[in-house]
Structure 1
Amino acid sequence: MTASAISRAAGTSQTADTARGATPSPGRARPARIEGLDGLRALAIAGVLVYHLNASWLPGGFLGVDVFFVVSGFLITTLLVREHHRTGRIALGQFWVRRARRLLPALLLCVLTSVLIARLVSQDLLVDVARQMVGALTFSTNWLEVTAGTSYFDQTAPQLFMNFWSLAVEEQFYLAWPLLTLGLLAVSSRIRVGAALTIGATSTVLMALLFTPGTDATRVYYGTDTHVMGLMGGAALAFAWASPQLATWVAPSRWGRPGRYAVPLAGMVLLAQMALLDEQSSLTFRGGIALATLATAVLVMGVIERRPDGATALQRVVRHPVAVWVGARSYSIYLWHWPVILLVALDNPSAPGTLSHLLTRVWCVLVTLALADLTYRFVEAPFRSLGFRGVASSLRASATALTRRGKKVVAGVVAGVALVTAVIVVTAPDMTETARMLAENEAAAQSDDPGAATPTPTALTSPAPGRATTPIRSTGPTTGGITATTATFTMPKGPEIDAYGDSIMVGSLQALRYYFPGIRIDAKSNRRWSDGLSEVRARGDANRRAVVLAFGTNAGVDADAVEQVLDALGPRRMVVLVNIMGPFARIDSDNATLELVARGRPNVVVADWADAIRAHPEQVQSDRVHPTIKGAHLFSKTVRQALADLSQR
C-alpha cells in the first residue's frame, strides 16, 4: 500500500495558501494548514493494517491504498500550484529532494532492520531480497516484481517488502507529474481539471481492459499506468480547489440538496466497499477502485470545505487527536506493518479464529505503532525539518563530543551493520523451502510411476489407512443436466483413485501416495478450477471410480467451473472436493460455495481441510498456506475420512 501520501503528516505538506491572487469564494477560505487530512490518512492506514492482519476481518481494506493515492495527488498538486503562484516557477530539483528526504531515511531504516531480523527468524523471507531492496530504494518495486513474474496474490513466498509497490507507483507519478503540471499551469483551470480527469479515466479503462477474470492480476494491480486514477483524481481536485471559478465543484454545501447527502453517502460507500469487496473480484478492477477514488475525493471535499456554520461531523471526526496522531505517523506505520506481521506471525503460528491468533495480531499492532512513533520522532521529523545537510551537521556536532574510543565504537557499529547486511543479501536463498519442496514434488509427480512403490515419508504420524467395504446404494436428483442414477459406493483403494489439484496437493504428494498406494496424482502449483475440466478430460481414467479435486487456493472457487467438472465426471463416480485454507478474505465464501455445489449430488462430498488444519497451525509452512510433512499427512487423512464418509452415507 501507499507510502509517500502518508509521509506528509506535518509541516508544509499540509499547507495550502490561496493559489491565485483572487480572494477565495465565500465558504471556501483556505487556511494556512489543511485540517483533517491526517484523519483521512488514519482511516486509510487502519483499513490497510486490518486487511493485512486478517483479510477476512476487512476484505476490502486494501482500498486504503487508493485513499492514500487521492490524498497524495491532492496535496502534491496543491503544493506545486502554490509554489508556481508564489514564485512564478516550480523548482523541480528542490521538489524531488524534498520527496527524497521525506521518504528515504525512514525507508532505509525499515529495510535494514527488517533484513537483519528476518535472518534470525526465517531465511524464507530473504528470497529475492536483493531485488526487493533495489526496488525499494529506487522506487521501482512494482515493475521489478512484474518483470520477475512475482504474484501479489500468490502466498507461496510472501515478500518482506511487498507493500512497497504503491510507494513506487507514487514516486513514478511524482517524477513525471511536476513536468506536466508546468504545462497545465499555462492553460485555463477547466482544461487542467479536464486533463487530470482524462488521464485518470484512461487508467481506469486500462485496468478494466487488461484485467482477465480467472488469471493473475498482479500486472494490472501494480501497473503505474493502470493504477494512477487515485493520484489523478486528487490532482484534479487540487486544480479545482485552486480556482475561484470552480468553487462549486469542490464545495458540497453549494451543490444544493444533493450536497447535503454527498459526503455522508461517500463515506458509507467507501466503508461498504472495504467491508465487502474482494481483492480478486472483477468488481474491484472494473469499477470498484474507481468508485473508491470518487468516494475519497468527495470526502476530501468535505474535509477541506470551510463552512460558516462550523465544523461538520466528518471534520470533527478527522480532527480528533487520535486520528491526527495516527495520520501523522501513517507513513512509518505503513512501512513497518507488513514486515512486522510477517516476522511476528512466523515466530508465533496460530489458527485464525483462535485467541492466540487475536493476541498475535494485537501484538503486531502494538509493535508497529511503537516502531512507527520512534521512526517519526527520531528519523522523519529531523530530516523533514533539517534536511540531509542539517542532519549531517547535527551528527558531526555530536561526534565532536565523543572520545576517540567512542568514535571508533560508532564507526565499528556502522561498518558491522553494513557488512552483515551485505553478507545476508549475498547469501540469501534463491527460493523458499516451500517452493523447493513444491518443485521437487512436481517433478516427482511427472516422472514417478504412482503404482510402482509406496513411498515412506519421514515423520509418519499415523498408521496406514483401513478399508471400509460396506456397499451403500445412493440415489439423488437430477443435477447439472445429468441424472443421478443409483450407484454403489465402497471405500476405494489407491489404484481406483484419480487426484487433481494445485500446490496444496503438490505439497501432499508423498503422503497421499503413502495412504493410497497406487493413486494417480496430477497436480501443479497455481492450478485453478477453470483448469479442472481440461485436466479431467485429458487425463481422466474411467476405470478409476473415485476422484479427488483440490483447486482454488490462490485463485478462489468458481461455482460454474466446479459444476462443469462434476458434470463431466458424472454421477456414478465418488468425488471429493477439498476445501481451502489460507490468509485470504474469501476463504469462508469459497468454502461455502463448495458446500453449496456438493449439496444435491449424492456422489460428492467436501473434505474439510480448512477445519482440520485450523486446529494445527504448527503444521503449516511459513507462507501460512502450504502444509508441512505432518500437515501433508493431515491433508491425506482428511481426504481419507471424506471418502469413508461418502462410503457410509
Structure 2
Amino acid sequence: MNTKKDFSNRQTRPHHVTGIDGLRTIAVLGVIIYHLLPTQVKGGFLGVPLFLLISGYFITYQFSKKFERGRALGLGHFYAKRFYRLYPVLITMLVLTIAYITLFARELLHNIRQIFVTNILWVYNWWEIYHGQSYFDQFANKSPFTHLWTLGVEAQFYVLWPVIIYFLFKIFKKRSIVQYIVLVLAFLSAIEMAILYHPTTLNRVYYGTDTRAFSLLLGSWLGLVWPLDRLKKNISGTASRALDGLGLLTLIITLYGFISLDGQSAFTYYGGMFFYSVVGMVLMATILHPGSHMNRWLTNPFFTWCGQRSYGIYVYQYPVLVFYERAINVGVHPVVSGIEELAIIVIISECSYRLIEQPLLKQRLSDIKWDKLCFNNWRQASLAIVALLVVGTTVYGLCQPNVQPKKTDLQKRIEKNDQLTEQHNKQLSKGKNIKTAKISTIQKKYQLSKTEIERAQKLKVTAVGDSVMLDASDSLQQLMPHAYVDAKVGRQGSQTPKILSQLKDEGHLNQIVVLNLGNNGAMDQKTIDEILNIIGKDRQVYWVTPHIPTKSWQQQVNSQIQEVAKKHHNVYLVNWYAASNGQSGWFAKDGVHMNKQGNNHYAKLITKTILKHQ
C-alpha cells in the first residue's frame, strides 16, 4: 500500500496533512473487515482505491513541482527510497508466510517459487490474472498472498509514472493540457475495465494494472489541479462550510459503498468502482484543503497510529486471517474469533513497525557493518538463531518440487456428480424414463420406508444450490429421480435470481423448489425477496440451513433462513445445521462438504421434510 509520506519539506509541503492517516485507516479497516465479514461489509475492497488515490496524488504532486521549478527529477533517489521502504516488510511477510506453509500447510507450496519471484519483481498482479484465484472466492483453498496484487500495481506506477509525467510536461509544457490528458487516461482505464469485464474472467479486470489505473490517475489529476502549496487556508466561512459538507457527504457515500457494493456485481465494473474512486478523490480533496475541517476531524491518536502502520497492517493481515481460519472454526464464535484475528494482526504489525520499519528509517542497510556484528547477550543470540531457522525453513520450502496437489476424494466426487447430474437433467428435459435402483436397495441405503420411497419417486422437484448440493446431487436424484438439480461450485446467493428466471423460462422450475444457498456468504434482503418473487407464492420452497463452522457467516445465514420461513407460508425450513451439528463423521476434512454417509443423511432429511408437507 502507499507508504507514509515525509511532510518535513516545508518548501514543497505547506503543512502536514495528518488527516491522510485517517483516510489510510478507513481504507485498511475497510479491507480487513471485508475479509473478516465479507457478507456484511461486501464493499470493503473499496479501501484499495483509496490507497491508490493517495499514491497517485502525492507522487504526481512531488514530481510536477520538481519539473515546474526546473529541478532534477532524481529518479534514482526516488526509486531507492521508495523500494527501501517497501521491500523489508514485503520480504519479511513472504519469508514468515512461506516458512509457515512449509511446516503446516504444504499443499500451498504449489507454485510457491513463482509467487515469491513475481512479488519480488512487483508483477504478482499479472501472475494472479492467469494463475491465481478470484479475490472474491471465499471457499477455495485460499492463498495467503492474494492481496499482494495491490503492491504490484502500486510499484509499477512508482516506476513508470514519474517518467510519463515528465514527458507529458516536456512535450505539452502547460499544466492545463497535462491535467486534461491525465483525466482522459483515467476515463479510458475505466472504459477498458467495462469492456473487458466478464464474470468468468473477473481476475483480468480486478488485478490488471491498466484496468485499475483510474484510481491512481484520478489521484494524479487531483495532484495537478489541487496542489497543496496553492491551497489557501484563509477562505470564506461559506466556502469552508461547503468543503466540510462535501467532505462529510463523500465520507458517508464511501462508507455506504463499503457495505453495499458487491465485488461480483456487473455494476461494480461498469462504472461502480470508478464512481467510488471519484467520490474518494473528492473526499481526499476536502481533507487536503487547509480551509476545511475534515483534516482535523480525521486526526486522532488511533488514526495516526493506524495510518502510520497501514502498509504493514495491509501486508500482514491476509496471511493471519487465512491461517487462523484454517485452524479455528470461526463460525462457532465469529465475534470472539474476529477480535482474536485483529489482535494478532495488530501485534505482528506493531512488531514489524518497531523492529523493521522504524530502525530502517534511521539506519540504512549499507550503513550496517556486517563484518563487525556481534551478539552482546543471549536474547540477541536467540533472535538470530530463530531468524536463521525461519529463513532456512523458507529456503527449504522454495526448493521443493513444484508438484500439482492431487485432487481430493471430495473434488473427484463433486466432478463426477456434476457430470452425472448433467446427464440426469438432460434425460428429464427430453422426457425420458429415468432408471432407478430397486426400492429395497434404496430403502436399505437411506433407512426410509417403502411408502416414503414410492412417494419420493413421484415428486417433481427443482433443486438449486452450490457445491454442497452438487456433492449430494447423486443421492438426491436417487431418492427423487424427477429432481432437476442446478448446482455449481462457488455459487453466490446474488447469482440465484438470474438462474431461477432461466429455469422458469425453460420450464424446469417445478412446484417444489429446494434451495441450498448461503454456504458462500449471507444474502441481502433484496436478493432474498427477488428469489421468492421469481419462485412465486404458488410453489413450495424448502430452504436448507448450512453447516459451515469454518465461516464467520454461519449464524447469520441460518438466522436469515429461519426468519424467511417464519414470514412466508410457502417456505419450509430444512434444518440441516441442527441435524448435522456434532456429526463430524458425516463430513469431509473442511467440515462443510459431506462424505458419502453425510450425503445420504442430507438427501434423506430433504426428502422427509418435503414428504411431511405433501
Q: Which position in structure 2 is the counterpart of 1:366?
A: 343
Q: Which position in structure 2 is the counterpart of 1:328?
A: 308
Distance 1:126 1:203, change over 3 A: same
Quote how far apart the aligned CAs of 1:418 are. 3.5
Farther off after superposition, 421-430 or 103-112: 421-430
8 Å CA contact 2:413, 2:471 repeated in 1: no
Q: Which position in structure 2 is the counterpart of 1:424?
A: 397
Quote how far apart the aligned CAs of 1:545 are. 3.0
Q: Which position in structure 2 is the counterpart of 1:129?
A: 112
Quote how far apart the aligned CAs of 1:398 are. 3.8
Matches within 5 A, 1:79-478: 79-84=62-67, 88-148=71-131, 150-154=133-137, 155-186=139-170, 187-212=173-198, 214-242=199-227, 259=243, 261-307=245-291, 312=293, 314-351=294-331, 356-390=333-367, 392-393=368-369, 396-399=371-374, 416-427=389-400, 430=403, 437-443=410-416, 446=419, 464-467=446-449, 469=451
How far apart are the structure 2 equivalents of 1:315 and 1:637?
61
Quote how far apart the aligned CAs of 1:126 are. 3.8
8 Å CA contact 2:464, 2:514 repeated in 1: no
Quote how far apart the aligned CAs of 1:62 are. 0.8
Letter in 2 for 1:239: L
8 Å CA contact 1:189, 1:243 repeated in 2: no
Distance 1:554 1:216, change over 3 A: farther
Gap regions ≥5 residues in structure 2: 425-434, 439-443, 547-556, 559-574
Farther off after superposition, 362-371 or 576-585: 576-585
8 Å CA contact 2:545, 2:577 repeated in 1: no
8 Å CA contact 1:608, 1:638 repeated in 2: no
8 Å CA contact 2:125, 2:208 repeated in 1: yes
Distance 1:492 1:426, change over 3 A: farther
How far apart are the structure 2 equivalents of 1:490 and 1:452?
14
Letter in 1 for 2:610: L
Q: Which position in structure 2 is the counterpart of 1:532?
A: none
Q: Which position in structure 2 is the counterpart of 1:576?
A: 513
1:640 to 603, 607, 610: 607
How far apart are the structure 2 equivalents of 1:190 and 1:253?
29
Residue-by-residue CA offset, 1:77-110 (whole Å, 9 max, x unaligned): 2333344466711122222221211111111111
Letter in 2 for 1:171: A
8 Å CA contact 1:165, 1:222 repeated in 2: yes
Distance 1:260 1:337, change over 3 A: closer
Quote how far apart the aligned CAs of 1:31 are. 2.5
TM-score, normalised to structure 2, is 0.80
Farther off after superposition, 630-639 or 328-337: 630-639
Quote how far apart the aligned CAs of 1:225 are. 0.7
Quote how far apart the aligned CAs of 1:205 are. 0.9
8 Å CA contact 1:240, 1:247 repeated in 2: no
Quote how far apart the aligned CAs of 1:277 are. 1.0
8 Å CA contact 1:16, 1:32 repeated in 2: no
Letter in 2 for 1:381: Q
Quote how far apart the aligned CAs of 1:358 are. 1.1
8 Å CA contact 2:468, 2:594 repeated in 1: yes
Residue-by-residue CA offset, 1:14-57 (whole Å, 9 max, x unaligned): 456455xxxxxxxxxx5343321111100111111111001122
How far apart are the structure 2 equivalents of 1:634 and 1:387?
63
Quote how far apart the aligned CAs of 1:261 are. 2.9
Letter in 2 for 1:72: S
Distance 1:129 1:218, change over 3 A: same
Name the SS for the 1:349 alignment partner: coil
Distance 1:626 1:105, change over 3 A: farther
Residue-by-residue CA offset, 1:291-326 (whole Å, 9 max, x unaligned): 21112111222112112xxx61x2223211110001
Percent identity, aligned pairs only?
23
How far apart are the structure 1 equivalents of 2:405 and 2:120?
23
Name the SS for the 1:569 alignment partner: coil
How far apart are the structure 1 equivalents of 2:408 and 2:127?
20
Q: Which position in structure 1 is the counterpart of 2:467?
A: 503
Farther off after superposition, 78-87 or 182-191: 78-87
Quote how far apart the aligned CAs of 1:189 are. 1.7
Letter in 1 for 2:395: A
How far apart are the structure 2 equivalents of 1:411 and 1:257?
56
Residue-by-residue CA offset, 1:602-624 (whole Å, 9 max, x unaligned): 25543344635666497777778
Distance 1:147 1:339, change over 3 A: same
Number of residue-to-residue matches in the alignment: 564
Distance 1:634 1:255, change over 3 A: farther
8 Å CA contact 2:168, 2:178 repeated in 1: yes
Letter in 2 for 1:369: V
Distance 1:499 1:323, change over 3 A: closer
How far apart are the structure 1 equivalents of 2:388 and 2:228?
53
Name the SS for the 1:557 alignment partner: helix
Letter in 2 for 1:274: F
